[in-house]
Structure 1
């Protein structure tokens, strides 16, 4: 396949998929949070306690942008910051009870969104779709 054609097809798929699951909506999953904010909540939930530099490395996100989002989440009382016992220069992030509740709501809404998508497909196509997504991930994941 010609490179220009491959680029066009990949970009077309990206536009299709981001539209399909509403990733460009200002408020993800009818919540008060953007995709970036929801993803940062996910990373904090998955790694808590986790440092901002770990979130930055995992998400490949700009430090100043992450800082602004963390400030918003802190103002919303969704995250808690504390100094690391190992290294006082490092601040560790964790979800507050309110943050955990927001994360749980977003996570359930995301699961329901994908479940609704799968309901439109015959069951045999569920595994086919998953296999194709796994193949994309395998092809695009950097090798160590």
Structure 2
């Protein structure tokens, strides 16, 4: 089972459990006598102050006839009232009555208590992950329903230079991924950590730079250009990694693009990188930026005997100027 298939399985199972635990399988919701659609309608009216039935149809994603029947029952129950719009008397605006405001107050108190009780069973890091993860997932579901692009990548930002915690975080991403996918062990992880520690002390040199992909102030991707360790005006591309949840997002291409722009500005004669033959997705990305396989051999520099590869990107502008 691929990681994507496992994510789908986990999310579906969690969604079913949430639906049951939050009471959506019941005929009423949030300690009221109303079905989920009516509770959601009143919450949206409260959030907007007032709104039209057509707006509720769009927000709730229900059929117009179903929303009309549900709203009529809420008006009849004294929870909502209809008033002509000040801008267009033909347009009816829905708003909460005094009774409706009290009902929504009770709904919010009940829901807040349920959420708070659940959060209290989680550590602070998990609370943050749940809060932001659920918000992102809900927005993605809405974008799918509305067939809009959504805001998948807008929470990412790319920064340069040393950031506190980056050595440990980049090492963690490397260690976790390569242990799971390729059975690399502590030798590899220790080598990554030692190399990063040495490189971080050299970031004050203009020929060295690191790019970090950040999401919610957490490092989720990295790539570095070491302009010193190879000599001969050659750059070394190092520590390219993405967090599991960011693969396939286009973030890797953005990181490599920034690194290659830097190499061209520094006018390195070439860029070298070392990898191995199992990373086919990364290889396609490298090749799209002009890297070519220049050497291949059986080696053990990462702690296991594998088919190692060296890729080279020649700076044609540099060589043509010689």
Change in Cα spacing, 1:138 to 1:63, as seen in structure 2 (3 Å) is closer
Q: CA deviation at 1:59?
A: 1.7
1:129 is aligned to 130
Within-5 A mapping of 1:49-128: 49-128=50-129
TM-superposition CA deviations, 1:109-140 (whole Å, max 9, x none): 10001011112223332112223324424544
Q: CA deviation at 1:2?
A: 8.4
TM-superposition CA deviations, 1:27-77 (whole Å, max 9, x none): 212211121111000111111221111111122221111111101101110
2:40 is aligned to 39
Q: CA deviation at 1:21?
A: 1.7
- The runs of 5 or more residues in structure 2 that have no matched partner are 144-148, 151-322
Q: CA deviation at 1:7?
A: 5.2
Which moved further from structure 2: 82-91 or 109-118?
82-91
Larger radius of gyration: 2
Q: CA deviation at 1:4?
A: 7.1
Q: For the aligned residues, what is the CA RMSD?
A: 2.3
TM-score (norm 1): 0.86
Residue 102 of structure 1 aligns to a residue whose secondary structure is helix
Higher share in helix = 1
Change in Cα spacing, 1:118 to 1:70, as seen in structure 2 (3 Å) is same
TM-score (norm 2): 0.41
